[in-house]
Amino acid sequence: MSIATNRKARHEYHILEKYEAGIALKGSEVKSIRAGNVSIKESYVRFFNKELFIVGMHIAEYENRGYDDVQSIRNRKLLLHRKELSKLKSKIDEKGVTMVPLSLYLKKNLIKMEFGLAKGKKLWDKRKDKQDKDVKRKIDRKMKEYKNK
């Protein structure tokens, strides 16, 4: 079940590879995420030392949180195996490659994040993608009209 998606990421970047990671969260954050009070639009993934963190993910405060006081925007650790982390680190060292969060979802009652290795698109790439999408939409409309006749 998808909770949040970063639609802008697919527009701004070419996604080279996708990865799935768990997130280290506190109890009130989990409840807030399950309620859908989360945004990953302005966030990004990066290495600090040998650990992977998501930076800038906004999780709204849970209404019935009690005494637990958690900041809505803070760095949260992503949970991956050490071999995956070392492989990612070597790929990130290439010029122009970055990591962007794509979606946040539930999997077997655990909150997982899908992020991707990405390269930035040029302006002409974005125009070409939009043109291709428009052409596909027109073709689909014509096919639908043809089937209805």
pLDDT score, position 101 = 92
CATH topology of domain 2-121: Small Protein B; Chain: A; (2.40.280)
Using pLDDT thresholds of 50, 70 and 90, give the confidence band for residue 65: low
pLDDT score, position 81 = 92
**Percentage of the residues of the chain whose pLDDT score is greater than 90:** 11
Domain boundaries, the chain: 2-121
Using pLDDT thresholds of 50, 70 and 90, give the confidence band for residue 93: confident
The first and second tokens of residue 67, run together, are 């005494």
Work out the average pLDDT over 139-148: 87
Q: Which helix (H) or strand (E) holds 19?
A: strand 13-23
Tokens 């030392």 belong to which residue? 49
Alpha helices in 53-117 (DSSP H): 82-92
* Pairwise pLDDT comparison (143 vs 125), residue with the higher score: 143
